[in-house]
Amino acid sequence: MKTEIIIRNLRIHGYHGLKEAEKALGQIFEVDITCDMHTDVPPRDVMEDTVCYGEICDLVASVSETEVFNLIETLAERIAAAIFANFPPIQKIRVEIRKPRAPIRHIVNHVGIAIERERHG
C-alpha cells in the first residue's frame, strides 16, 4: 500500500541565490513536497503508522535557515536528503521550490525547480 504525505505552498525564508541582494536581504521561497510511504499493513489510526507533516515542515524550514545556497536546486537536494535521514518510512520524494520574487526583468508569477528522488538500499 502507498500513502502520500502532501505539503503545498510552505513558505520559508532564506538567503539563497547568486545575486548579492538575495544573500543580503533574503526572500520568501514557496515549497511543495510529496512523500511516498509504502507499507504492507493498513494504518491503525495512530501517529506511529505515519509521518507528521508538521515535523517535515519544521525540518524544511530548519534546512533553509541553517545554510545558504547559491542554487535552489541544492536547497531541494538538501531538503530531500534531510527528509530521508529523519523519516525512514519515506521511500520517494518530490520537492518543488518556487521563487515568487526572482530578480529577473521579466513578468512572471514565479520561477522554480523540482526534483524527484528515491531512497536506495
Which residues are known catalytic residues? 99
Helix (H) or strand (E) holding 114: strand 111-118
**Residue 59, class by beta-carbon neighbours within 10 Å (0-12 exposed, 13-18 middle, 19+ buried)?**
middle
Pick from 56, 55, 54: nearest CA to 95: 56
Helix (H, G, I), strand (E, B) or coil at 48: helix
